[in-house]
Amino acid sequence: MMLQKVLFWASTGLLSILMLFSVYNYFFNYEMIKGFFEGFGYPTYLIYPLAIAKILGLVAIWGNFSKWLKEWAYAGFFFDTVLAFFAHYMISDGQHMGAVIAFVLVLVSYFTAKTVRP
């Protein structure tokens, strides 16, 4: 049980840092992120809503308000990391390992949360 608690808090903390770093870049380095989105073929109008969704997802996970809301937040992070992996992989920019790390953090946080914070 102690190992699960450590894994949960470490993975959730690292996931939060990673997501907050991306939110920071979305808001304060918009031109750089806009260039990445255009390179991926994604519409740039998704940048701000995606940043807000990441913030709300972190609030749902850390707040532990509702099991249903927490499940949706983890689902959003799951799809975000999977799509980020394939976006980087398809254009072969070599940055897909960050998405793999985020994906692993999402899975570890999700599955350990079920026992640590029911």
Q: Where are the domains of the chain?
A: 2-116
pLDDT at 118 > cutoff 80: no
| Residue 2: pLDDT over 80 | yes
- Residue 51: per-residue pLDDT: 97
Beta carbons of 11 and 105 less than 8 angstroms apart: yes
Per-residue pLDDT of 22-67, as tens digits, reads 999 999 999 999 998 998 889 999 999 999 999 999 999 999 889 9
Q: What's the confidence (pLDDT) of residue 91?
A: 86
Mean pLDDT, residues 63-86 taken together: 94
pLDDT at 33: 94
Closest to 37 (Cα-Cα) out of 57, 54, 51, 55 = 51
